[in-house]
A and B are shown apart, each in its own frame.
Chain A
């Protein structure tokens, strides 16, 4: 079957897995331009998200380096056929591992940069300022949210997803969930945030307050 290059509009409608298959198909057909363009959709589509998630877990001055490494590892494995499961989940897993590897490497070479907030004359305390208050907590951010979400029933979880993470107004949430009042939405969201703060406080030894 002959290869047909697709338009930007068509590429934007493809799932990640179909985009990856299309990149391979274009490469096999010898259409380097089509292969590269589809790859651009896939990389551009996730780079900013990965970078932002890395930024929440890594000192500012190392965010770009860690992001780049994570992308290369994840996309490299995807095209090598050694990635596991859905590409998106794989990408985020590799990003998390890359951040963890970076922290491990940093621990192995501790005398690198002084904490900006430390006394410059102190000889015994070295390291870099983490982006988030609790470094260990920062690595586990998503896990903590998932854990709190898992304690909610289906309806309450849906309310949190729509109101907190999709930023829909309480009225819009009520329009999507039968029997829900705006007061209930506010109450469910408030309870979720309280539980989240407690969970984060436990994870960080109480730093969340």
Chain B
């Protein structure tokens, strides 16, 4: 049995036992001549490996749980996949949320209303702000801050809603969501008491549509 084959067998054994195994730890043990072969063999094994059995204890506080939280907000929210996309783009740009919000408010010319911009941006990341109400100006400014495009952000915000409509527009839960979205687009929904203030330029930017 070759060295690569021995290491592959050891990798498979650990992967089956633990439900996970770090391929790099095994590649580190391979000679330079065997490294590419072992990488290809491990990859081919992984391509065939069955879906891992769910383990509640290992799932808790894991990276999987964070992904699920974001996806769940996307599935049940009204901002498409913004709940998964926006935090990732922000992290990739190396920006804390407060920093991004400050930059966004300044780019939009509403630097004195950073707190309100922050509330709206929070709703975007949480999947609570209907994407259709968010203006192109906001998306353009946001895109330039996080290294994306306004068009890409617009599509990401709408994609899930489109999928849901295609799934079954008659369904009451999603119909409620669609109605809420349409309502927010044409006539803004009432905000919580502390936000009951005159409709201003920030509201227009985030809820007034293009």
* Chain A residues near B (Cβ < 8 Å): 8, 11-12, 16, 23-24, 27-30, 32, 35-36, 39-49, 52-53, 55-56, 60, 64-65, 67-69, 71-72, 75-77, 79-82, 88, 92, 131-134, 137-138, 141-142, 144-146, 161, 164-167, 189-190, 193, 196-197, 200-201, 204, 207-209
Contacts and interface: CB of A to CB of B under 8 A. Distances in A.
11 contacts: A40-B59, A40-B65, A45-B53, A45-B54, A52-B23, A56-B23, A72-B70, A76-B160, A141-B44, A204-B36, A208-B35
Nearest to A132: B39
Given A28-B171, A167-B13, A208-B33, A45 B51 contact: yes
Contacts of B49: 49
Interface in B54-78: 54-56, 58-59, 62-65, 67-68, 70-72, 74-76
A43 B68 contact: yes
A44 B71 contact: no
B5 interface: yes
A142 B44 contact: yes
A82 B80 CA distance: 12
Given A52-B20, A132-B35, A208-B36, A165 B75 contact: no
A69 B206 CA distance: 26
Contacts of A32: 72, 76
Contact of B85 (A39, A72, A201): A72
Contacts of A30: 173
A interface SS class = helix
Contacts of A138: 39
B116 interface: no
Interface string B7-23: 01100110100011111
Nearest to B70: A72
Contacts of A67: 63
B46 interface: yes
A26 B163 CA distance: 16
B29 to A, nearest CB: 14
Contact of A200 (B36, B52, B173): B36
A153 B165 CA distance: 47
A3 to B, nearest CB: 11
A68 B67 contact: yes
Nearest to B55: A44
B96 interface: no
Nearest to B48: A165
A44 B59 contact: yes
A143 B12 CA distance: 20
B67 A56 contact: no
B27 interface: yes
A72 B88 contact: yes
A201 B56 CA distance: 43
A27 B76 contact: yes
Contacts of A24: 75, 167
